[in-house]
Amino acid sequence: MTSADNSDAADRPTSLSTPVSAGIVAALVGFTSSFAVVLTGLRAVGASPAEAASGLSALCLTQAVGMMWLARRYRQPITLAWSTPDAALLAGTGVVVGGWPAAVGAFVTVGLMIVLTGLWPRLGALVSRIPVPLAQAMLAGVLLPLCSAPVVALAGSPEHVAPVVLVWLVVLRFSTRWAVPAAFAAAAVIIAADVIGSATSIAASDLVPRIDWTIPHWTWQATVGIAVPLYIVTMASQNIPGTSVMASFGYRIPWRASMTVTGTGTVLGAFAGGHTINLAAISAALSASPSAHPDPNRRWVAAFSAGCSFSVLALLATALATLVAASPAGVVETVAGLALLGTLAASLFGALQHASDREATVLTFLVAASGLTFVGIGSAFWALIVGLAVRAILRRQSPALPVSDATG
């Protein structure tokens, strides 16, 4: 072996360890910062603790397999994720007509719609015509009650909630990325102490990974109230931004393949309780940036590594769900609310940055935040309908002002 060969051999572990570690970090951050939101959303639409844990495991497994295949096939750092905004939307929707099986049927419908988007570009074009401010306002309204949870919980149980918020705030001062995982670590310590102090026992069988299958049932209320808003939020806040993030690093996402993989994964995972998987945005930046590897052609290893990490994390879903179920009131809600603050801020900014649409976006926000249910359909759908109607009326009746009038 020549000296050049020795040099290459010495460099090879270093060049590989960077994308591998980047993928592991992306998986850990993505999982710990939002799994509580996923469990909260699934429980809100009728899942039992076991079914919610099964859904979390299914999401980990489907996105793991999907991103490993896409990264390997296209040699790109294509990172997948569950949709945290979708989970928040579920938390704000509540149980629909038909209960948990109807929610599962809605998840299957969303997956089929995502596959159809990849095969029929006009459907994606139709979704892109929905004004972004309205979609963002709908999402912000859904998020508001969840992000208010830490405030309510702090007043009701300060001894349990205050340490979580304090840890989050201190870590946030130094690292935005690790603030929510640190808050969850603090919550885990509090939950463990509470379980030990109350002499509550957790059976070993409750920690063993398991999959609970659900036969889907379709109701028009679930289709309109869950499937349609989930699809819109998935496309507008996840898939489209995800392609933009990847483009900023010089990668062109294989759109049809990505939609087919994520849509199929959503359909398969739905039977086990998972809601939606999609292209990642924040995690994509962790895997696709130069910090993952100087060579763009080697960054796909980071996404593949993230997929491997999620397949391992799937084994922890049942234990974590058991821990969450045993938590004192308000602790998990606090972690979930803190995890969504950044998304809420981004949604509010996107909703209000265009002055011409502010009346429509504010009404969209208020209807979504109200939590109303009408004819069995939740507030997210009605918020979008109200926003579109108000926007159409105001734009039809209000001619554009001259520049001097608009500014003077």
Q: What is the pTM of this model?
A: 0.79
CA–CA distance from 161 to each of 79, 84, 186, 189, 210 (Å)? 33, 22, 10, 12, 30
Distance, CA of 326 to CA of 33 (rounded, Å): 19
Q: Give me the mean pLDDT over the 117-129 stretch.
A: 79
Residue 250 pLDDT: 86
Token pair of 167, please? 């840890």
Q: How far is CA 185 from the centre of its chain?
A: 20
CB-based contact 145:365 (threshold 8 Å): no
Amino acid letter, residue 37: V
Question: Is pLDDT of 272 > 50?
Answer: yes
pLDDT in tens, 347-406: 898 888 888 888 999 999 999 888 787 777 778 888 888 998 999 888 776 554 444 333
Q: Distance from CA of residue 281 to its chain's centroid?
A: 10
Residue 402, pLDDT score: 45
Residue type at 212 in one-letter notation: D
Can you give the pLDDT at residue 398? 52
Mean pLDDT of 133-147: 85
User: Which range (90-94, 119-123, 139-143, 195-199) has the least confidence?
Assistant: 195-199
Looking at every residue in the chain, the average pLDDT score rounds to 84
Please report, for the chain, the start and end positions of each structural domain, with discontinuous segments joined by +: 3-407
H or E element that contains 82: strand 80-82
Q: What is the pLDDT of residues 7-37, one digit of tens each?
A: 333 344 445 568 888 888 888 888 887 888 8
The per-residue b/e assignment along 78-94, b for 16 or more CB within 10 angstroms, e otherwise, is bbbbbbbbbbbbbbbbe
Q: Tell me if 324 sits within 8 A of 32, measured CB to CB.
A: no
By C-alpha distance, which of 189, 188, 170, 190 is closest to 179? 170
Residues 6+ away with beta carbon under 8 Å from 378: 92, 93, 94, 96, 225, 226, 229, 371, 372
What is the structure's pLDDT at 363?
93
Torsion angle of alpha carbons 30, 33, 35, 37, nearest 10°? -130
Beta strands in 212-362 (DSSP E): 277-279
Over 60: is that where the pLDDT of 264 sits? Answer: yes
At 122 the pLDDT is 79
> Would you mind telling me the total number of residues written for the chain in this entry?
408
| Per-residue pLDDT at 170 exceeds 90 | yes
Nearest to 50 by CA among 216, 236, 205: 205
Mean pLDDT along residues 92-117: 93
Would the pLDDT of 319 be above 90? Answer: no
Report yes or no: 193 and 366 within 8 Å, Cβ to Cβ.
no
Residue 271: pLDDT above 50?
A: yes
Q: Is the pLDDT of residue 207 over 50?
A: yes
The predicted pLDDT at position 355 comes to 82
* % residues pLDDT > 90 (the chain): 35
User: What is the SS3 assignment for 103-119?
Assistant: HHHHHHHHHHHHHHHHH
pLDDT-derived band at 6 (thresholds 50, 70, 90) equals very low
Cα–Cα distance between 161 and 153 in angstroms, integer?
A: 7
Helix runs in 120-216, H state only: 121-128, 132-156, 158-174, 176-197
8 vs 4, 11, 22, 293, 297, CA distance in Å? 6, 5, 22, 16, 17
pLDDT value of position 231? 92
Q: What SS3 class is residue 293?
A: coil
Type of residue found at 405: D
CA 347/CA 239 separation, integer angstroms? 16
Query: What does the alpha-carbon distance between residue 69 and residue 398 come to, in Å, rounded to a whole number?
Result: 51
The reported pLDDT for the residue numbered 254 is 92
pLDDT at 176: 83
Q: What angle do CA 278, 86, 44 make, to 5 degrees?
A: 140
Is the predicted pLDDT of residue 296 greater than 90, yes or no?
Answer: no
With cut-offs at 50, 70 and 90, classify the pLDDT of residue 201.
low
Q: Is the pLDDT of residue 295 over 70?
A: yes
pLDDT of 5 strictly over 50: no
